[in-house]
Every structure is written in structure tokens, then in C-alpha cells.
Amino acid sequence: MIDPGHGGTVKLPGSAPNNATSVSGVAEKVLTLDFGFCLRDALVAQAARTGERITVALTRETDVNVAGAARAALVGALGARAFLSLHFNGAADPAVRGSETFYRAAEKGNVNPAPDIAFAGAVQAGLMAGMRAIDPAAKDRGVKPDSQSGPGGIGVLNDAALGNLRRPRPAVAALAELEFITHPRVDRLLVSGAAAQANRQAVAGRMAEAIRGYLSA
């Protein structure tokens, strides 16, 4: 289950319509949806080449917002094995950049912290492999518990919302902050430059390889 962050124009519980905006003026919600399609297509194409079976669903496929709990609830409803929420970051300081992946902190009642940490690690490794392939200056901000993401943690990673309290085999869940689109070089690489679309596909491809590796292990 791929979750393109944000969407639409209405603020809903656990999901703002948009947070970050790129240097070039593109909304995070547009980029998360595009990247979600890139990642889905990469997963399906790679699995077809290797003969693996994979089913990929998105929490949204249009410019619409979905409440945080409703995004997570699709995991339980569809019996998904893995949930990855996609976001781009923003900062007031244009020099701030880097890629990071969050998992649900143990102190926030995570029922499956070890698999979540392993999944987040695979996502982050794929993300960094992709970013380094397109940018030698890529910055690894690491894998972090959502206790570091701000008060309350990340709602879509809540095990009750994911349906994990009722499942014998909980789904793994992570949230990737792919890069800071408020950084001018990142904006050119991933948003506004001539190679931006190809670069996004390249990063999604490496992430897809890492996710398939985790799921098949």
C-alpha cells in the first residue's frame, strides 16, 4: 500500500491538504502523487521481469485529501503486508536537505517495532541508493522513530489505525520524507530540472528494488 501524502484542498483529521512547496512553486501533494505512481509502476514492472507476484494499491490516485486514519484503515481492509507513506519535506532554511524514513516508536504502542524498523531500513537504503545515483551530494538523515517527528507522532503509522491490533501478522509501516523541496539543488534534481521526471523514476526504481527485497526475504 502506497500512501501519497496530502491532497485536495480540505484539511482533514491527520492530513493537511498540503505542507511543503518547492522552490519552483510545485506543491508537495502533486509530487507525492507522481512519486506514488512512479513507485507503483516500478514495483509492478520489476516483479513482472522476475516472475514475482505483487499487488500494489494507492490510498489516493487523484488530487483529493484522505483523513489519516482512513489512509491507514485501507491496510487492514485490503490485507496489505506493507504500508509506505510518501512525503516531501520543507524548511525555512533553504540549505537544509536530506532523506529520512520514520517508523512508529515503541513508546507509542508499536506492536511490531522490529519488522517496522527493518522495513524502514530497507526503504531508506533504497531511497539513498537512488538519491546517490542522481546526486553525489545526497544526504542521509537516517531511519528515525516518529517520537522525533513532533508531538503526537505520525498518525498513519498508528497500529490501531492500521488494523494491526486485530491481525495475527501485522503489516509493516513506514513514512519516507524523500527530500527537502525547499533546497534549490533538490528542486532542480527532483522537481523542475530537465531530468526531474527521469530522476524521480530512478529513485523510485531503487526504492522498489529495496521494498521487493524486504518483502521476499
Contacts to Zn ion by CB under 5 A: 5, 19, 87
Residue with nearest beta carbon to Zn ion:
87
Residue 118 CB, shortest distance to Zn ion, in Å, is 24
CB of 90: closest distance to Zn ion in angstroms?
8
Q: Which of 47, 186 has the CB closer to Zn ion? A: 186
CB-wise, 18 or 112, nearer to Zn ion?
18
Nearest distance, CB of residue 202 and Zn ion, angstroms: 22
What minimum distance in Å lies between the beta carbon of 177 and Zn ion? 7
Task: Kindly list the strands in the beta sheet with 82-89, ordered across the sheet, starting from the edge strand earlier in the chain.
Answer: 2-4, 82-89, 172-180, 99-103, 140-145
Cβ 112 vs Cβ 75: under 8 Å = no
Instruction: Indicate the residue among 155 and 170 with the shorter CB distance to Zn ion.
Output: 155
Cβ closer to Zn ion: 60 or 87? 87
Spatial contact of 183 and 94, defined as CB atoms under 8 Å apart: yes
Rounded to whole angstroms, how far apart are CA atoms 150 and 171? 23
Pick from 155, 170, 181, 133: which is nearest to 35 by CA? 181
DSSP 180: E
